[in-house]
Amino acid sequence: MSKRHVIAKAADFGRVAVLMGGISPERDISLMTGQAVLAALRRRGVDAHGMDAADDLARALLREPCDRVWTALHGPGGEDGAAQGLLEYLGIPYTGSGVLGSALAMDKERSKTLFAAAGLATPPFIVLTGPADFARAERELGLPLAVKPAGQGSSVGVSKVEHAADMPAAYAEAVRFGDAVLAERWISGCEYSAPVLQGEVLPMIRIEPAATFYDYNAKYFSDATRYHCPSGLDAATERACATQALRAFAVVGARGWGRVDFLLDDRGTAYMLEVNTIPGMTDHSLVPMGARARGIDFDELAWRVLETSFDVAPSERTRRTT
C-alpha cells in the first residue's frame, strides 16, 4: 500500500497534463472531473494543461511533452489500463493505479473472484452469455438480482431485476456496453463508499439514493440522493470495514488513491462491490466528501493525488524521447 510522497513546491511537479474526456460512455463525467482538477491545480500554482484523450493521445503526448499526467479518465480506454500502458511505454509518470491494478479493478468478474479468494465477502454472481443463462441466474441467485456490464463504471448499464420477465431487457441494456455481463445476487443493506488516499481510508460515506438503487443519475445529477459523512457507523465497525476496504484495494493491485464501494447487510457483513481506481471529482463525488471530513479541501486533494505520480521511482521507468 503506497504511502504519501510529500511534494512541497508546485514547480517540483513540472509541466502537468490533466488527461480527460476520451471516448467511453463516461466521457461527460470525465470532462467534469478533469476541468475541476485542472482549475484546482492552477489555483495551487501548478503548471497544468488540459488534454482530451479523444484526440490522438500518443501523438498529443509527443507533440506537447509533459513531466507527469493527472489521469482524470473514466471508463474503458482510460481507467482499464489502456492509457496507463501508453504512459508506461512513453515513460511518463501518472497518478493512481498502474496497468495491472487498473485492468483488474475495471473487470468486475475478475476483481470479484480475487475478493472471494482473499476471503472478502462479495455478492455471488454468474456470467451471462445470453438468454440460455437467465433461468440459471434466477435459480442460483434468486430474485431480485443486479445485471451489469463487467467492464464499466459509474453504474452504466446496471439494472435491478425483480421479475423474471425483466431479464431480457436488463441483459440487452448491459450488453450494449460490452459482451461480458454479470448477474449478481441483490444484497439488501446500506451502501457505503470508502475513499482511499495514499495508504489510508478517509471517512466513509453512507449513500441514501432516492431511487431504487444508486444508479448513474443518482451518482452524478440527482439532488435527491443523500450522503452521510460521517457515515453513522460506530467506530469499531468503521475500522473493520476500512480494513476490508484496504484489503480489497490491495488485492486488485490498486495504488495511490481510489474508492472501494461495499454493501453492509443487517448482520454486519460487508460485501465488496468494486474498486474504483479513478473516482469522479465532481460536485456530487464521494472522495472529495471524505477528504473534506478529514480537513482536506478540494485543491489540496487534487495536489495530493498528483503526488501519487511519484509512487513509482524514476529508475523503474525508461523515458522515451522519440
Helix (H, G, I), strand (E, B) or coil at 266: coil
End-to-end CA distance of the chain: 33
Annotated catalytic residue, options 24, 102, 111, 154: 154
Tell me the C-alpha distance between 291 and 301, whole Å.
Answer: 7
For the stretch 233-236, contacts whose Cβ atoms lie closer than 8 Å and that sit 24 or more positions apart, written own/partner, are: 233/192, 233/204, 233/206, 233/264
- Catalytic residue from among 27, 185, 255, 259: 259
Q: Which grid cell is 241?
A: 470495514
Closest CA to 133 of 193, 179, 181, 99: 181
316 catalytic per annotation: no
- Residue 178 is among the residues annotated as catalytic for this protein: no
Q: Is 261 a catalytic residue?
A: yes
Q: Is 26 a catalytic residue?
A: yes
Which grid coordinates belong to 265? Answer: 447487510
Q: What is the pLDDT of residue 152?
A: 64
Catalytic: which of 21, 280, 285, 290? 280
Give mean pLDDT in consecutive 10-residue pieces for the chain, a chain of 322 residues.
86 98 91 97 98 91 95 92 96 97 95 97 95 94 92 73 93 86 93 97 92 54 81 96 98 97 96 96 91 97 98 55 39
C-alpha cell at 205: 460515506
Q: pTM for this structure? A: 0.89
Q: Which of 192, 216, 220, 271 is catalytic?
A: 220
pLDDT of residue 27: 93
* Whether residue 193 lies in the annotated active site: no
- Residues 42, 227, 75, 172: is their CA dihedral positive or negative? negative
Give catalytic status of residue 276 as yes or no.
yes
For residue 320, the model assigns a pLDDT of 45
Domains of the chain as residue ranges with CATH? 10-103 (3.40.50.20), 108-122+188-300 (3.30.470.20), 125-185 (3.30.1490.20)
Q: What is the pLDDT of residue 51?
A: 96
Q: Which residues, 6+ apart, have CB-to-CB distance to 132 below 8 Å?
A: none
